[in-house]
Homo-oligomer: A and B are copies of this chain.
């Protein structure tokens, strides 16, 4: 289990407080789960893992919490395949997705860092498109599936 430095129960509590939101056991559990799991779980994944600790918890709560965390900027929703995945790492980085097993690997952002100014400039001047974020997804086969 790799701890994600940005999303800790502490930082999360602070962020919630600042946003005027409440600290509930379910939210704490979801954050803890996200913070100790680098696999970018789906809402489904989280629901199943927490089912043991919170037998009555519903999907709505999972989605509500993920929405709240997204708005506060603690997690980032990703569309890497069919279902939404939630990335607890707010630092800019890219992803490698295995075409066979679906595993997601976080990549430290490679060479031409957060959208090189020249690329950004080209896009903005040529297409009149204001770039806010860039996502790179590498698809192929992970070590276990090669």
Contact = CB atoms under 8 A, between A and B. Distances in A.
Nearest to A143: B128
Interface residues of A, number: 35
A2 interface: no
A136 interface: yes
Interface string A114-146: 011011001100011111111111111111001
Nearest to A122: B110
A81 B81 CA distance: 11
A100 B138 CA distance: 26
A107 interface: yes
Contact of A134 (B80, B112, B138): B138
B118 A96 contact: no
Contacts of A142: 127-130
Contacts of A22: none
A56 interface: no
Interface in A55-84: 79-81
- In the A-B complex, the 4 residue pairs with the smallest Cβ-Cβ separation, listed nearest first, are A128-B143, A132-B140, A130-B141, A131-B140
23 contacts: A79-B79, A79-B81, A96-B127, A98-B129, A105-B127, A107-B123, A111-B112, A111-B116, A111-B118, A123-B138, A127-B142, A128-B142, A129-B138, A129-B141, A129-B142, A129-B143, A131-B138, A132-B140, A132-B141, A134-B137, A134-B138, A135-B137, A137-B137
